[in-house]
Amino acid sequence: MWPPQCPAALGAVARGIYTRRSTPADAGDGAAQVAEYFQDYITVAVFAAFGAVLVAVAVGAASLLRPSNPTATKSQTYECGIDPVGGGWSQTHVRYYIFALLFLVFDVEAVFIFPWAVQLETLGVFALVEMMVFVVILLAGLVYAIRKGVLEWES
Amino acid sequence: MNVLFDNFWALLGIKLLLIVLVVMTTALVVIYAELKLGAHFQHRIGPYFAGGRWGWAQPLADALKFLQKEDIIPAAADRVVFKAAPMVSLMAYFAVVVIIPFSPRLVVQDLDVGIFYALAAGSLGTLGVLMAGWSSANKYSLMGGLRAAAQLIAYELPLVLAVVGVVIQAGTMSMVGIVEAQAEPAFHLGSVGIPLPFVLQGQLIGFIIFMIAMLAELSRTPFDLPMAESELVMGYLTEYSGLRFTMFFLAEYAGIFVMSALVSTLFLGGYFLPGLPSNVFGPVILMGKTSVIIFLIIWFRWTWPRVREDQLQGFAWRWLVPLALANLAVTATLKVVF
C-alpha cells in the first residue's frame, strides 16, 4: 500500500504547499474575503506565538535535565565578583529620552510615507511635491535638534 | 491528502513545521560558519573534533551542554520580564519569516503590507533586548539594554527609508510583488529584455544604507555596543545563563538569517535569477544570495573595530537619515518623471 502511493503523496504535499490558497479574483463573496483576511493574520499570530512557545518548551525540557541548586551568593547580582554597590536600576542619562522624541517624529513620517510610495505612480507630481514639503519640514526639525546639541556627548 | 491541504489549520501546521526546520537548521549552520570562518580569519583552525570531521557538530554539542546548565535568576531581577525577554526576542524573527518568499508560491503568507509588516515585527526583537537589560537589575545589563534601544531608534529610520525607495520602484509592498518587479526586464538589448535587481536599478545607495542599518539592528560589529565585552561584561546578557542564554543566542543567529533573506529579496532579486525557473530553483537561489550576505556580516565582525556610542548616534542622525531622505527624493522624482 504505502510505497506505491508515496510519489502521489509527495505530489499532494508539493501541490498543497506550492499552491497559494486563493487569489483575490476567485475569492467569491464578501464573507469569504473577510475569512481570508483573518486567516492571513491568524497565520502571523500563530508564527509569532510559536517563538514564545518554543522558548517555553525548551526551558521546560531543560528543567528536567539540569541541576537546580540556588544559593544566596549565586543569585546575587553580578558585578565583576565583588558585592554589588547600590541598586541595579541606576540613573541613566536623559539623552536617551531625547533620542526617543526625535525618533517619534520621523517614525510617524514613515507610517505616512509607505502608502504614498505605493501610490506614487498614479498620484503623480502633486503627491511628490506634497511629500517633499513634508520631508523638508521634518528635516528642519532634525537640523534644529542637531544645532541644539543633542548629538554632543561632552558635558 | 488534498483534504489536509484544504484545511487551513492543517496547512498552517505543515508550514510552521517546515519554517521551524529551516530557521533552526540555518541558525545552527550560521553559528558553525561563524566559529569556523572567524577561526580562519584569524589563522586558527577552529572547532575540529566534534562530529568526527571539521567539528561540524560543534553547535549541537554546545546546545547539549547548555541544556544541562543551571538556570540562575538573580534575586534582584524582575522575574516575569526576565523570563519573557528571550520569548519576545525569538518571536520577532519568527513573525518576520512569514513573509519571506522562497519561490513564487513557496511563501507562508504573502501579505499585502509585506515589507511594512516585516519592519514593524522585526523591531520587536530589540524590545526583547531592552526587557532583558531592564529586568536583570544589573548596571551592565541596563546600560546594554538602553544602548540597544537608542541604537534601534537611530538606525530604524535609515532602514525604513531605504526600503521606501524599493517600494516606490516596485509599486507594491508585497514581497512576491517586489521580486516580480525585479524579474521584469529593466531595459531591452535588441529584442532581449534584461532584468536587473534593484541594487543595479539605482538603489545602490539604498542597499548600502540598508546593510549598515541592518548591522546596527542586529547589534553586530561594528555596532555591537549593547554587549561590548570590553566595557559591559556581556551587556544585556550578563545575568542570563543556561538555556535562556542559548535562546538569545539562537534569536541572534535566526535574526541574521531573516534580515539577510530580506536584503536578498528587496535588493538582490530574491528567488529570481535570469535563466533559471524560479518555481524549481527559487529556494536554492534565495539561500545562495542569503549566504553571500551572511558571509559579509561574519566578515565584517572579524575585521572591523567597534564604534563609540556618540559616533554611532552621530553617524545615523547626521549622515544616514539625510542620505536616505535624499535617496528617497531622487527615486521618487525619477519615478514620477519617467
B252-261 exposure pattern, b = at least 16 Cβ within 10 A, e = fewer: bbbbbbbbbb
Q: Is the dihedral of CA B240, B243, B244, B249 positive or negative?
A: positive
Q: Is residue A24 part of a domain?
A: yes
Query: What's the pLDDT at A17?
Result: 45
* One domain, residues A24 and A57: yes
Residues of B in Cβ contact (< 8 Å) with A67:
68, 70
Q: Which of B154, B244, B336 sits opposite A99 (nearest CB)?
A: B154
Burial zone of A133 (CB within 10 Å; 0-12 exposed, 13-18 middle, 19+ buried): exposed
Q: Which long-range CB contacts under 8 A does B275-283 form with residues at least 24 apart?
A: B278/B103, B278/B104, B278/B183, B279/A18, B279/B103, B279/B104, B279/B105, B280/B103, B282/B101, B282/B102, B282/B103, B282/B104, B282/B106, B283/B102, B283/B103, B283/B106
Q: Which grid cell sits at B157? A: 529610520
Average pLDDT over residues B285-306: 90
A146, HSE (Cβ side, Cα atoms, 13 Å) = 16
Residues of A in Cβ contact (< 8 Å) with B217:
none
- pLDDT tens column, B80-100: 888 888 888 888 888 888 888
* One domain, residues A64 and A112: no
Q: Which of A55, A66, A92 sits opposite B142 (nearest CB)?
A: A92
Query: What's the pLDDT at A18?
Result: 44
**B219 and B129 Cβ atoms separated by less than 8 Å:** yes
Share of chain B above pLDDT 90, in %: 7
Q: What is the DSSP string of B184-235?
A: SEEEEETTEEEE--GGGTT-HHHHHHHHHHHHHHTT-TTS-GGG-HHHHTTG
Q: Is residue A18 part of a domain?
A: yes
* One domain, residues A63 and A24: yes
Identity of the residue numbered B302: W
Q: Is residue A83 part of a domain?
A: no
Mean of all residue pLDDT scores within chain B: 84
Last residue of a domain, one of A27, A42, A75: A75
Distance from CA of A70 to the nearest CA of B (A): 7
Q: Is residue A68 part of a domain?
A: yes
Q: Is residue A81 part of a domain?
A: no
Q: For helices B114-122 and B139-170, what crossing angle results, to 10°? A: 170
Say whether A75 and B73 touch across the interface (CB within 8 A). yes
CA A128 – CA B112 distance, rounded (Å): 23
* One domain, residues A57 and A26: yes
* One domain, residues A11 and A58: yes
Residue of A19, A33, A47 best to disrupt the B interface, most CBs of B under 10 A: A47
* One domain, residues A66 and A131: no
Identity of the residue numbered B228: A
Residue of B71, B230, B307, B330 best to disrupt the A interface, most CBs of A under 10 A: B71
**B154 and B245 Cβ atoms separated by less than 8 Å:** no
pLDDT exceeds 90 at position A51: no
Residues of A in Cβ contact (< 8 Å) with B105:
17-20
pLDDT exceeds 50 at position B17: yes
Query: What's the pLDDT at A34?
Result: 67
* One domain, residues A116 and A53: no
How many Cβ atoms are within 10 Å of B157's Cβ, its own excluded?
24
What is the distance in angstroms between the CA of the first residue and the CA of the last residue of chain B?
Answer: 50
* One domain, residues A64 and A99: no
Q: Is residue A38 part of a domain?
A: yes
Distance from CA of B105 to the nearest CA of A (A): 5
Query: What's the pLDDT at B260?
Result: 92
Q: Is residue A86 part of a domain?
A: no
Last residue of a domain, one of A44, A75, A106: A75
Last residue of a domain, one of A75, A110, A130: A75
What's the pLDDT band for A102 if we cut at 50, 70, 90?
A: confident
The tally of domains found in chain A comes to 2
Of A32-36, B104-108, B110-114, B323-327, which one has max mean pLDDT?
Answer: B323-327
Share of chain B above pLDDT 70, in %: 98
pLDDT exceeds 50 at position B48: yes
Displacement of CA B322 from its chain's centroid (Å): 24
Give the residue carrying C-alpha cell 565578583. A81
Average pLDDT over residues A110-130: 82
Average pLDDT over residues B299-309: 86
CA B30 – CA B24 distance, rounded (Å): 10
Distance from CA of A129 to the nearest CA of B (A): 9
* CA B305 to each of CA B223, B224, B225, B310: distance values in angstroms, whole numbers, following the listed order: 9, 10, 11, 15
pLDDT exceeds 80 at position B130: yes
pLDDT exceeds 70 at position B101: yes
Say whether A50 and B150 touch across the interface (CB within 8 A). no
* CA B235 to each of CA B107, B143, B148, B226, B231: distance values in angstroms, whole numbers, following the listed order: 36, 7, 10, 6, 8
Residues of A in Cβ contact (< 8 Å) with B113:
114
- pLDDT tens column, B241-278: 888 888 888 888 888 999 999 999 888 888 888 877 77
DSSP state at residue B44: -
Beta-carbon contacts of B293 under 8 Å, excluding residues fewer than 6 positions away, are B211, B260, B263, B264, B268
Distance from CA of B21 to the nearest CA of A (A): 12
* One domain, residues A105 and A59: no
Q: Is residue A107 part of a domain?
A: yes
Distance from CA of B228 to the nearest CA of A (A): 15
Residues of B in Cβ contact (< 8 Å) with A134:
none
Q: Whose CA is closest to B74, among B134, B30, B123?
A: B134
Q: Which stretch of B14-18, B214-218, B275-279 has the lowest confidence by average pLDDT?
A: B275-279
* One domain, residues A8 and A52: yes
Residues of B in Cβ contact (< 8 Å) with A121:
171, 335-336
* One domain, residues A66 and A121: no
Residue of A nearest to B155 (CA): A103
Q: Which domain holds residue A116?
A: 95-147
A143 or B2: which carries more pLDDT confidence?
A143
Backbone φ and ψ for B52, nearest 5 degrees, come out as 95, -40
Residues of A in Cβ contact (< 8 Å) with B307:
none
* One domain, residues A8 and A71: yes
